[in-house]
Amino acid sequence: MDNSKSNKITDFSRVFLEPANPTHRQYEALRAYFVEHLPSAAVARCFGYSAGSFRVLAHQFRQNPQRDFFLMPQRGPRSAPRKDPVRQRVIALRKQNLSIYDIRQALLADEHSLSAVSVFNILKEEGFARLPRRRDDARPSRPRPEAAAVADARQLSLEPRHLRTRFGGLFLFLPYLVQMEFDRMMVRAELPGSKMVPPGQAMRSLLGLKLFAAGRHSQVMSLVFDEGLALFAGLNAIPKRAFLTEYSCRIDPACYPRLRQLWFDGMNRLGLPRGTSFDLDFHTIPFHGEDALVEKHYVSRRSRRQKGILAFLAQDGDKRVFCYGNCDLRKDQQNDEVLRFVEYWRERTGRFPEELIFDSRLTTLANLDRLNRLGIGFITLRRRTPELLREMYARPRSAWRQIELKAISRIYRTPRIIDQITTLKQYQGPIRQIAVTDLGHEEPTILLTNQLRRSPADLIGRYARRMLIENNIQDGIEFFHMDALSSSVPMKLNCDLQLTLMGSSLYRLLGSRVGNPPRRTKSRHLFRDFVEASAEIHIGDRDVQVRFQKRAHNPLLIAAGFGDLDPRIPWLGGRRLQLAFG
Of residues 449 and 489, more confidence is placed in 449
Going through 93-237 in order, the beta strands assigned E by DSSP cover 161-165
- Predicted TM-score (pTM) of the model is 0.73
Contact present, 317 and 472 (Cβ < 8 Å) = no
- Please compute the mean of the pLDDT values over residues 475-484 and round it to a whole number: 64
pLDDT tens for each residue of 33-87: 888 888 988 888 888 888 888 888 888 888 776 656 666 666 665 555 555 778 8
Q: Which residues contact 330 (CB under 8 A, 6 or more apart)?
A: 295, 310
Between CA 342 and CA 138 the distance in angstroms is 60
CB count, 10 Å around CB of 441?
Answer: 11
What phi and psi values does residue 552 have, to the nearest 5 degrees?
-65, -30
Could you tell me if 537 and 166 are in contact, meaning their C-beta atoms sit under 8 angstroms apart?
Answer: no
Instruction: Check residue 449 and give its pLDDT.
Output: 94
Question: In the predicted model, what is the mean pLDDT of residues 414-423?
Answer: 90
Query: Quick one: pLDDT at residue 252?
Result: 92
pLDDT average, residue stretch 179-184: 94
* Crossing angle of helices 493-513 and 469-479, rounded to 10°: 110
Q: Rounded to an integer, what distance in angstroms lies between the CA atom of residue 522 and that of residue 552?
A: 18
More confident residue, 213 or 568: 568
Write down the pLDDT at residue 470.
59
* Per-residue pLDDT reduced to its tens digit, 321-345: 888 888 878 888 889 999 999 999 9
Residue 154 pLDDT grade (very low, low, confident, very high; cuts 50, 70, 90) = very high
> Got the DSSP string for 219-280?
GGGGSTT-HHHHHHHTSSSPPPHHHHHHHHHHS-TTHHHHHHHHHHHHHHHHT----SEEEE
* Better pLDDT: 14 or 90: 90
Of 140 and 500, which is predicted with more confidence? 500
pLDDT at 489 over 60: no
3-state secondary structure of 306: strand
In the structure, what pLDDT confidence band is assigned to residue 490 with cuts at 50, 70 and 90?
Answer: low
Q: What is the pLDDT of residue 82?
A: 53
> Average pLDDT of 264-279?
86
For residue 539, the SS3 value is: strand
What pLDDT, on the 0 to 100 scale, is given for residue 5? 47
Rounded Cα distance between 66 and 72, Å, is 14
